[in-house]
Structure 1
Amino acid sequence: MIFSYLKNKTVHKEEWTGSFDESVDAAVVGLGTAGAIALISAGRQGLSTIGIEQNSFMGGVGTGGAIHMYYYGTLGGIQMEIDEKVQVFNKVYSPSGVQGFHPDVKKKVLEEEALKNNSQIYYRSSVIGIILDENKVVGVQVITPEGIKTIQTKFVIDASGDAQACVLAGGDFTIGREIDGMPQPYSAPRGMHNGKVSSANFDAGYVNPTDADEISASICNAQTLHLKDKFVEDSKLLYVSPHLGLREGRFIVGEDTLNFEQMLLEEKPAEWTMQTYAHHDNHSRDWAFESDLAQEWVTICSFWSRMTMAYVKPGIVIPKGIDGLLVAGRCVSIDHDTAQTFRMQRDMQKLGEITGVMAGLSIKANCMAKDLPYNELSKELQTNGCKPLPEKEKKWGDWITDVSAIKEGLASTYPGIAIWSIKRKGSSFIPNLVEWLDEDGDDLFLKHVAFALTIVGDDSGKDILIGMVEENDQGLATSKEIRTHFPQKRVHGALFGLGVLHVKESVETIKKFLVNHLNDFQDVSQSVMALLKIAEKHEDVRESILDCILGEIDTQSFKFILEMQVSNGDQKSTCQDMKTFLIKHVKSKQKEWLSAVCV
């Protein structure tokens, strides 16, 4: 057997000849949002279980992290029973009322439900090593207040939030967005009392969640942001969250993957375990640094707040090439874009239930999780209410199929639905759009036609896009009937379009726009990224583009400050200095292009 452990931020492996202190069917690593439900779910499958938690409570962000309310996600399963029991005691613990659910009540209910199944719980404990028999996890080593224990297991459920057990087992993972590998900003929540138990939550910065030093520094930084000159009667401080509000970290490479393209193409696989339901809740306001697909969704269509859903395959919780290990929570096999939608507490709790059921059924069938008969899993999840029956499935939004209705939508002040309907039709719709360009439509209609051409990869509307930059078109996509948080300016959609279409003729216009708008974060970021995308395709303009960009941003006077989001509470927004990142990215492109020339 092999003992795998972390030393100096590196995984080390050595032969293991020791003995186990105890043996259980399943060990759950992390008893947060997903892990608490995973422990209860596995126990209800009749498994002997141990839960390992670094804090002194179960429930994670919903109980100790001051986010004690739900935000979208899907109903069903064990969580409904838990929530009902919590509501019974809410008024006992807080007669004046509570926003969402009372965090201390939920801690109590979760622990009681876990102990009903004779689960052992190790609080203030962390996994420090994994025992492997070839490619199968057969045990965990845990440091506890009583010392180090080595526990034999048939399954480990990694609900650490950051795939820590999976990494120790040698599993592959991805992290962050493509441009810089960074996840979403972290938040700094606190518990408040404003006549009832409530909370305040705001974004506090970026952090690499795999770096312990960065995490420690960010915790210290976040705590200081809660200090005020005075706390008034209707805004009393109850507590500060003991950990950061991390929205994203590692994503495992699983037997299956759910990516953003699959979600937006609305694919329904033959085998699925649950649905996810939310909008593209991206807290990174530096939209220009996100993927092209995410920018089409947010910047072109202004769909930040449009609801989406997806069907979740069983294999996203199974690390590829590793047996005896399941993963629950936000570190399942998805990508950065998908994580904006698939991270809500209700959905994470369902992932916990699914992994508990999978471990139980696999042990009973004496098979690996990837070989578990789907029909058995599906039936069990439907019986538990975790997987919805057909008549209760969430439905996708209605897209437009009629050509005249699409044209009418493009002429409206909220063209996103028409534009994305064209995206779904693909290049076959280009002739219609080109024909409409030659008609005597009004300017707004023609601008929206140019956007539609952009997302199907056609540059026939490039002159219109250039015109929007020249006039600094501040228009927003708005609708009285549809919720449109963070609508995007048309000039930013035009800049993105010119970049993604590599329109060389637009370079001088964009350079001029950049120079004249150095005080606006979105204007600078969209301009720079558009120019870099054009330079990627056209070598002959690279030098002039780099000279322009670096000449403006690599100076002492240039400021590049991102104002971060405040979700709720009486909190001033914090700011993140992104200048170093921007210069580093531009210079990395410069180095990449110079290397290519040398070769």
Structure 2
Amino acid sequence: MPSGDAIHGEYDIMVFGGGSAGCTAAIQAARAGKRTALVEKNGILGGTTIVASVNFPGLFHAWGKQVIRGIGWEIIERTAELGGAELPDFSVVPQRHWMHQITVNRFIYSAVLDRLCLEAGVSLRLHEMPAAVLKGEGGTYVALVGKSGLKWYKTNKLIDATGDADVTGLMGYARKKGEQLQPGTLINDIGGYDISAIDTDMLNREYEEALRSGEISRNRHGLYNDLKSGRINMHIQDIDGSESETRTLAEVKARRHLLDTVTMLRRVPGCEKIEVRHFASECGIRETWRIDGEAEVDEQSYVSGYVWPDAVCYSFYPIDLHHHSGFHIEQKMIAPGIVPTLPYRALIPKGSDDLLVAGRCVSGDRMANSAFRVQASCMATGQAAGMAAAIAVDRNCSVRAVPITQLREELERFGAIVPKDAGNR
């Protein structure tokens, strides 16, 4: 246990991970008056939206009405006000669910996150990661490792919004991971070619020969479709983003796939000058660890729209499991009028008194997780975790003892939408 002289600072709440869930959690905790730190390994906030270029958050609306609002929606509105997003007509139910995703300008979006965090009083700790967590008298001690080495901080409550349940693992709580994981994607934009000059038969011959020789890996949609869309689509199989070593392999594999594909395309007339004009700095990871929570959202409870007795937010996205061994996507659409809910207990690792979890790794089975892992749902769970942690600090109680009625009332006071008929189907 670090001595008093070794403690570099003290917070009421420490949030780990500056993505969709972590930013909303930190802003909510700080707005509730708590000394809040937001720890992020990168030098920029936004998580997958920014560093993996998945810059199309959703879904905030279902069946013509808004189901997720609060801090997450405030981020979208502020981005739009600054010219960083255009909002569709949400009163019209789209033919396909993804049509209500909102494309955001990455720079403006990240700058809005900076501004909202600082306005709320959040202490931003970029370029740092948790290295150890120890429970001690009067609080929990966290070792952060950064450019100046390892430093200890004291906190009352913690929120794990790392996406991979990293802090959950450091604290020894149980986690779950499938034997096979969903593939990853490296988002990119390509240009410099003349699609009208491309002979599709020659393109297909070059592609098939490169596949046979092992020069490239199979492409998700076919290269001509990719050239029309201006993006090399991919499913990078057999990757695990849960640890630094395996995440390194994932990143290298994704970049190699992109480079090999572009190199092969340069042999095709019309593509001689093809180039990668943008690529994400990180490979988008769909699935790693999930916590073993006080409650687990399973596929049936999700798609049926079951309203949990301790429901704290809605989630709206179809089951969307990308198969690990190919390009098949198992989708199960949500029936008209149904809006799934997520329970507070799914944010609590079993037996936890001081740790809450928000975002992609909250407690659920693989099928439900493939749906509620999207950004708007992560924002909603982040706000719920931030508010619950603040209440637990005020009441000096376990996160498991936070009164659900109070939590729901406070979330609504801060603009969130909370399921009204908790406990009923």
Same fold (TM over 0.5): yes
SS in 1 for 2:116: helix
From the CA coordinates, give the structure whose radius of gyration is larger. Answer: 1
Could you tell me which residue of structure 2 aligns to residue 57 of structure 1? Answer: 44
Could you tell me which residue of structure 2 aligns to residue 163 of structure 1? Answer: 165
- CA distance in 1 between partners of 2:349 and 2:126 (Å): 26
Could you tell me which residue of structure 1 aligns to residue 19 of structure 2? Answer: 32
Q: Is the 8 A contact 1:66 1:191 kept in 2?
A: no
2:252 pairs with 1:220: yes
Larger RCO (CA within 8 A; separation ≥ 6): 2
Could you tell me which residue of structure 1 aligns to residue 373 of structure 2? Answer: 343
Instruction: Choose from 139, 142, 145 the match for 1:140.
Output: 142
Alpha-carbon distance, 1:238 to partner: 4.1
Q: Where do 1:522-533 residues align within 5 Å?
A: none
Could you tell me which residue of structure 1 aligns to residue 316 of structure 2? Answer: 277
2:395 pairs with 1:357: no
Could you tell me which residue of structure 2 aligns to residue 119 of structure 1? Answer: 122
Q: Is the 8 A contact 2:131 2:143 kept in 1?
A: yes
Could you tell me which residue of structure 2 aligns to residue 87 of structure 1? Answer: 80
SS in 1 for 2:410: helix
SS in 1 for 2:251: helix
Q: Is the 8 A contact 1:187 1:204 kept in 2?
A: yes
TM, length-normalised to structure 2: 0.76
Could you tell me which residue of structure 1 aligns to residue 33 of structure 2? Answer: 46
- CA distance in 2 between partners of 1:117 and 1:160 (Å): 21
Q: Where do 1:361-372 residues align within 5 Å?
A: 361-372=391-402
Q: Is the 8 A contact 2:348 2:399 kept in 1?
A: yes
Instruction: Choose from 286, 289, 314 the match for 1:247.
Output: 286
Higher helix share: 1
- CA distance in 2 between partners of 1:359 and 1:101 (Å): 29
Question: Structure 2 vs 1, CA of residues 65 and 84 (structure 1 numbering), >3 Å: closer, same or farther?
Answer: same
Letter in 2 for 1:190: N
Letter in 2 for 1:221: K
2:332 pairs with 1:304: yes
SS in 2 for 1:86: helix
Could you tell me which residue of structure 2 aligns to residue 68 of structure 1? Answer: 55
Letter in 1 for 2:187: P
Q: Is the 8 A contact 2:50 2:110 kept in 1?
A: yes
Letter in 1 for 2:332: W
Letter in 2 for 1:207: I
Q: Is the 8 A contact 1:187 1:205 kept in 2?
A: no
Could you tell me which residue of structure 2 aligns to residue 187 of structure 1? Answer: 185
SS in 2 for 1:183: coil
Alpha-carbon distance, 1:199 to partner: 6.9
- CA distance in 2 between partners of 1:160 and 1:49 (Å): 16
SS in 2 for 1:84: helix
Could you tell me which residue of structure 1 aligns to residue 152 of structure 2? Answer: 150
Alpha-carbon distance, 1:150 to partner: 0.5
- What are the Cα deviations for residues 111-169 of structure 1, in whole angstroms up to 9, with x where unaligned? 111111222212111110002138x9612100111222111001111111111111111
Could you tell me which residue of structure 2 aligns to residue 206 of structure 1? Answer: 238
Q: Is the 8 A contact 2:241 2:250 kept in 1?
A: no
Could you tell me which residue of structure 2 aligns to residue 539 of structure 1? Answer: none
Could you tell me which residue of structure 1 aligns to residue 199 of structure 2? Answer: none
Q: Is the 8 A contact 2:173 2:349 kept in 1?
A: yes
Question: Structure 2 vs 1, CA of residues 115 and 310 (structure 1 numbering), >3 Å: closer, same or farther?
Answer: same
Alpha-carbon distance, 1:219 to partner: 0.5
Q: Is the 8 A contact 2:238 2:324 kept in 1?
A: no
CA RMSD, aligned part only?
3.2
Q: Is the 8 A contact 1:130 1:137 kept in 2?
A: no
2:131 pairs with 1:128: yes
Worse-matched range after superposition: 34-43 or 100-109: 34-43
Q: Is the 8 A contact 1:186 1:244 kept in 2?
A: yes
- What are the Cα deviations for residues 472-504 of structure 1, in whole angstroms up to 9, with x where unaligned? xxxxxxxxxxxxxxxxxxxxxxxxxxxxxxxxx
2:135 pairs with 1:110: no
- What are the Cα deviations for residues 259-286 of structure 1, in whole angstroms up to 9, with x where unaligned? 1232245432222101111111111175
Q: Is the 8 A contact 1:64 1:103 kept in 2?
A: no
Q: Is the 8 A contact 1:90 1:101 kept in 2?
A: no
Alpha-carbon distance, 1:64 to partner: 2.0
Question: Structure 2 vs 1, CA of residues 388 and 322 (structure 1 numbering), >3 Å: closer, same or farther?
Answer: closer
Question: Structure 2 vs 1, CA of residues 220 and 56 (structure 1 numbering), >3 Å: closer, same or farther?
Answer: same
Question: Structure 2 vs 1, CA of residues 345 and 235 (structure 1 numbering), >3 Å: closer, same or farther?
Answer: farther
Q: Is the 8 A contact 2:68 2:417 kept in 1?
A: no
Could you tell me which residue of structure 1 aligns to residue 295 of structure 2? Answer: 256
Q: Where do 1:90-101 residues align within 5 Å?
A: 90=83, 100-101=103-104
- What are the Cα deviations for residues 521-544 of structure 1, in whole angstroms up to 9, with x where unaligned? xxxxxxxxxxxxxxxxxxxxxxxx
Question: Structure 2 vs 1, CA of residues 99 and 390 (structure 1 numbering), >3 Å: closer, same or farther?
Answer: closer
- What are the Cα deviations for residues 277-335 of structure 1, in whole angstroms up to 9, with x where unaligned? 11111111759x99xxxxxxx6xxxx634456422111111111122111111111111
SS in 2 for 1:341: helix
Question: Structure 2 vs 1, CA of residues 99 and 114 (structure 1 numbering), >3 Å: closer, same or farther?
Answer: closer
- CA distance in 1 between partners of 2:379 and 2:44 (Å): 16
Alpha-carbon distance, 1:382 to partner: 2.0
- What are the Cα deviations for residues 533-558 of structure 1, in whole angstroms up to 9, with x where unaligned? xxxxxxxxxxxxxxxxxxxxxxxxxx
Alpha-carbon distance, 1:108 to partner: 0.4
Question: Structure 2 vs 1, CA of residues 360 and 24 (structure 1 numbering), >3 Å: closer, same or farther?
Answer: same
- CA distance in 2 between partners of 1:66 and 1:33 (Å): 13
- What are the Cα deviations for residues 84-129 of structure 1, in whole angstroms up to 9, with x where unaligned? 111122369xxxxx98110111110001111112222121111100
Letter in 1 for 2:8: D
Q: Is the 8 A contact 2:313 2:419 kept in 1?
A: no
- CA distance in 2 between partners of 1:319 and 1:131 (Å): 16
SS in 1 for 2:135: strand
Q: Where do 1:526-565 residues align within 5 Å?
A: none
- CA distance in 1 between partners of 2:354 and 2:295 (Å): 16
- CA distance in 2 between partners of 1:376 and 1:240 (Å): 44
Question: Structure 2 vs 1, CA of residues 343 and 137 (structure 1 numbering), >3 Å: closer, same or farther?
Answer: farther
Could you tell me which residue of structure 1 aligns to residue 64 of structure 2? Answer: none
Letter in 1 for 2:236: A
Question: Structure 2 vs 1, CA of residues 89 and 326 (structure 1 numbering), >3 Å: closer, same or farther?
Answer: same
- CA distance in 2 between partners of 1:68 and 1:199 (Å): 14
- Which runs of 5 or more structure 2 residues have no equivalent in the other structure? 61-66, 86-100, 193-229
